[in-house]
Amino acid sequence: MAESKPTPLEPSKLGTKAYWDALYTTELSTHTSDPSLEGTVWFDDSDAEAKILSYLSPENDDDDHPDHSPHPHNLDPATASILDLGCGNGSLLFSLRDDGWSGHLLGVDYSRQSVALAKQVAESRKNEDLKSVEFKVWDVLNGDIPDISPEHGWDLVLDKGTFDAVSLSDEKDTKGRRINEGYGERVLQLLKVGGIFLVTSCNWTETELRNWFETSTTPNDDKTKLKMVGRIDYPSFSFGGVKGQTITTLCFEKVVVA
């Protein structure tokens, strides 16, 4: 029997575009007044960005990085194309550029204010390389994929909290599903075969994320699916005899269905 989908999250204002537009309007105004205040870096309290950069590093070695499980991808920092879904203030892409990733980096967000903030932060930093990071207004669930995707798809697609936000929306798609249920299908369309999807969540456990993206995501017409190939471990806690993490980062690869 197929495993059932995880229990849906209770809808929240964090699942609405109005909430994010208001947040980034405020952060844009704050940054205009004081460029040192660049806005929220999601999961900063877990040092997620540093761990993601370390995980993706070509020098990643299990002995040196005990908090990583092995990953088979072969991304070249000089050429890898990287898409950040729900880019916010652009922090993750700026960190990647600073870390030597010099290929095509694009951040997309459905909030115009978010994209304006990311562009403004890039202009304000004293680093000319950051100005080559691209940002566009684009809706991951409804935007035309050819508008933002290379011909054969992206090498790496990043999500740091965006699936969480989508999962808090009470909107339905044309099939009558909560809109987060079609998220994996869109990710598949964005990736090249062999491409990597790295997703970070505070709302879903590893088991639930694997269910959403491995089990519940329908293979595309080109007979491809998402397969988990790695993870990042964070400091754990125990409560009531159950061990857990405050956030989860999993790595999926787009593979051809056998």
What pTM was computed for the model?
0.92
The answer for residues whose C-beta is within 8 angstroms of residue 28's C-beta and 6 or more apart is 113, 116, 117, 120
Note whether 107 and 118 are within 8 A (CB).
yes
**Residue 220 in this model has a pLDDT that exceeds 90:** no
Tokens of 140: 């991951």
Count of Cβ atoms closer than 10 Å to residue 37 Cβ: 11
Note whether 191 and 153 are within 8 A (CB).
yes
Q: Which residues pair with 154 in a beta bridge?
A: 191
Tokens of 104: 């095509």
Tokens of 14: 């964090």
For residue 136, what is the DSSP state? E
Phi, psi of 235, rounded to the nearest 5 degrees: -50, 135
**Residue 150 in this model has a pLDDT that exceeds 60:** yes
pLDDT digits (tens, 9 = 90+) for 30-62: 999 999 999 999 999 989 999 999 999 877 654
**Residue 258 in this model has a pLDDT that exceeds 90:** no
Domains and CATH numbers, the chain: 44-256 (3.40.50.150)
